[in-house]
Each structure stands twice: as structure tokens, then as C-alpha cells.
Homo-oligomer: A and B are copies of this chain.
Amino acid sequence: MKIITISREFGSGGRELGRSLADMLHMDYYDREIISAIVEKTKFDEKYVENILKNGTMQSVPITFGRTFSYSPVNDNVTKILVSQHQIIKEIGAKGRDCVIVGRSADVLLEEYNPVNIFVYADMASKIKRCRERAADIDKFSDRELEKKIKQIDSNRAKSRELVANSKWGRKESYHLCINTTGLNINDITPVIAEYARFMFGRTV
């Protein structure tokens, strides 16, 4: 089974890269599907789940969760959503189908399947530009406000990952390849990354 995981800074085009890689390599693609699955499992409202997963849900109280002392989800609902998400990721792995998964600590949770783990990043100006191009209703935010929001979302991603991993979110050592998308068109770079992924699947692990 071939799995590509894409971890990414908010606004770096990582999601877009994940989708176009999946298209090009004819692999299943998971992103929002996971939220729907969480909704089905937990019966929480979709917006609520989405908000919990996106916007700071952790506080830095050391507890044991997964394999390490780490951050504590702020309440039971958050714990329920995260546990459910972990189960869903594990189930995706168990299906045995080739796939691309964006975010959600899939690089850690699916470790046993030797995924190819890619990290996508960009400089702040480029991320702000990308956010403005992609999202509706964003004009009301200043660049400064967007920067703060981007950092907050990334910090939450880092903390969510630390619930299950000892290695650090966003540190190159945690990934096979890190690509800076500053100034790049994601569709244009996709064939190159697809070539890299093909190479990695061809190697003996």
C-alpha cells in the first residue's frame, strides 16, 4: 500500500498539493471526508467539529495521551473528537488502499505503513497572499490579523500532533521532504513531487 501524508503550514498550498497529487497518482484523497466521518461517529455538529480541529483546542497541561506527556485537550468533547479522528485515520490505513491524507497527524498515526511524509511551507507574505486568493470574506482582516490567525492555526496543528508523536511538527527531521512553495504555482510543481513520490515508493524501506 502506498500512502502520502501532507503536513503543511496554513496558507502554503499543502491541501491543494495533496489533492492534485492524488489526482495525478490515481490515489484516494482524504481531507474533509474525515470531518464527515467524525460527525457520523460523534453526532456533533459539523461546524463545531471543524472549528475544534482548526482553532486552538489545547492547553499546555502535561498529561499522558498516546505515547507521550503532552498537551491536554480542553474538554471532553475535544477529546472525543480527537479520539474519533485517530480511529478514522487508523481505519483508512486498515483499508489498504493507496491514498493521500492531508494533515491530521496521519504521518504519525499511519507510521506502520511507511508513508511518504511531505511538509509544505512558505514565507508569511506568500501564505497571506494565498489565503486572500482562496478565501471569501477575508478582506475584513488586516495582514497582521491574518498572520496572527495563521500562526495560531499552525500552533494548534503542532500541539495536536504532539498528542501522538515525540517528533516535532514542522521540523524537517520529522519528514522525508520539505518543500517551500513561496512564489510557486501548486499545479505546476505537482508533477515533480509526484515523481519524487514514485521514486520513494520504488525504494526498499
A interface with B by C-beta (< 8 Å):
119, 121, 123, 170, 172-173, 175-180, 183-184, 188-189, 192, 195-196, 199, 203, 205
Contact = CB atoms under 8 A, between A and B. Distances in A.
Given A173-B180, A184-B203, 11 more contacts: A121-B173, A123-B173, A170-B172, A175-B180, A176-B179, A176-B180, A177-B178, A177-B179, A177-B180, A192-B192, A192-B195
Nearest to A184: B203
The 6 closest A-B pairs by CB, nearest first: A178-B178, A172-B178, A172-B172, A192-B196, A176-B180, A192-B199
A19 B70 CA distance: 43
B199 A183 contact: no
Chain A interface, DSSP helix/strand/loop, else mixed: mixed
Given A172-B178, A176-B180, A177-B180, A199 B189 contact: yes
Contacts of A121: 172-173
Contacts of A177: 177-180
A203 B183 contact: yes
A13 B205 CA distance: 18
A195 B196 CA distance: 9
A127 to B, nearest CB: 12
A180 B173 CA distance: 8
A23 B195 CA distance: 20
Contact of A119 (B119, B172, B176, B189): B172
Nearest to A182: B176
